[in-house]
Amino acid sequence: MNLNEYQFEAAKTAIHPIDGCIGILYASLAFCGEVGEVANKCKKILRDYDGTVTSEMKSALKLELGDSLWYIADLATLLNTSLEEIAQLNLEKLRTRKKESKLKGEGDNR
């Protein structure tokens, strides 16, 4: 499955009837919540498992990453763009930063 196929299938499960700016805000907040769940699982790995990623925690992280990916796909759909375009743009940006030795640092336009 490629990213666009995933995005197409994921869109079939969207139940929020919101579009436009409110839809984007809704999906952004939901994405932040899912990323928070990923971070919380990682915190528990440090706190409860002495930094050991057990198979159970790995499975739990995979599920949370999937939920995060779903909201990224939803945002892309709401923005009328594709996950593959977003991925390509990101790689182009990173390749340029690497070529210019600017992978480290701050700011969007480095």
Residue 104 lies in a domain: no
Residue 92 lies in a domain: no
* Average pLDDT, integer, range 7-20: 90
* Average pLDDT, integer, range 33-44: 98
Neighbouring C-alpha atoms within 13 Å toward the C-beta of 32: 6
List pLDDT tens digits, range 19-38. 789 999 999 999 999 999 99
The residue type of 50 is D
pTM for the full predicted model = 0.88
Residue 37 lies in a domain: yes
Residue 109 pLDDT level (bands cut at 50, 70, 90) = confident
Residue 99 lies in a domain: no
Rounded to an integer, what distance in angstroms lies between the CA atom of residue 64 and that of residue 36? 9
Residue 105 lies in a domain: no
Helix (H) or strand (E) holding 16: none
Of 73 and 16, more confident: 73
Number of independent structural domains in the chain: 1
Residue 16 predicted with pLDDT over 90: no
Residue 86 lies in a domain: no
DSSP letters, 44-55, are: HHHHHSTT---H
Residue 76 lies in a domain: yes
Selection from 81, 79, 69 nearest residue 37 by Cα: 69
In terms of residue numbers, what domain contains 11? 3-81
Instruction: Give every CB contact of residue 68 below 8 A, 6+ residues apart in sequence.
Output: 31, 34, 35, 38
List pLDDT tens digits, range 54-67. 999 999 999 999 99
Residue 45 lies in a domain: yes
pLDDT in the model for residue 110: 67
